[in-house]
Amino acid sequence: MSGWRAVRIVLAGFCLALACAAPAGAAVVVQASILGQFFFGQSPQDDRNAPAAPVARYVSDQGQTFVLDRTSSTLLLKFDDSPEILALSPTPAARGDTIYRDDLGDPVLRVTRLGGLTVFVPGRPAGAPVAFEGQAPGFRLQPMTAGALLQRLAQASSRASHAAKHLIIFDAQDVTAGSEAVFADAAFVASQALVRLAGRRDGVSTVARFARVLFTPGPKGSVAVGKGLLSITVNPAEGVAGRPSSARIIAVAAKGR
pLDDT in tens, 79-109: 999 999 999 999 999 989 999 999 999 999 9
Predicted local confidence at residue 23, as pLDDT: 43
* Whether the predicted pLDDT of 51 surpasses 90: no
Question: What is d(CA 28, CA 24) in angstroms, rounded to the nearest whole number?
Answer: 10
In percent, the amount of the chain with pLDDT more than 70 equals 79
Residue closest to 160 by CA, chosen among 151, 169, 152, 173 = 169
* This prediction's pTM: 0.76
| Beta-bridge mates of residue 224 | 231
According to DSSP, residue 38 is labeled: H
* Whether the predicted pLDDT of 256 surpasses 80: no
pLDDT in tens, 224-236: 999 999 999 999 9
Residues 6+ apart with CB under 8 A from 46: none
Average pLDDT across the chain, whole number: 82
Residue of 74 and 43 predicted with greater confidence = 74
| Beta-bridge mates of residue 100 | 90, 109
* Whether the predicted pLDDT of 122 surpasses 90: no
**Exposed e or buried b for every residue in 194-209, given b needs 16+ CB within 10 A?**
bbbbbeeeebeebbee
Residues 6+ apart with CB under 8 A from 195: 159, 160, 163
Mean pLDDT of 202-214: 92
pLDDT band at 126 (very low <50, low <70, confident <90, very high): confident
Rounded to the nearest angstrom, the gap between the alpha carbon of residue 183 and the centroid of all alpha carbons in its chain is 18
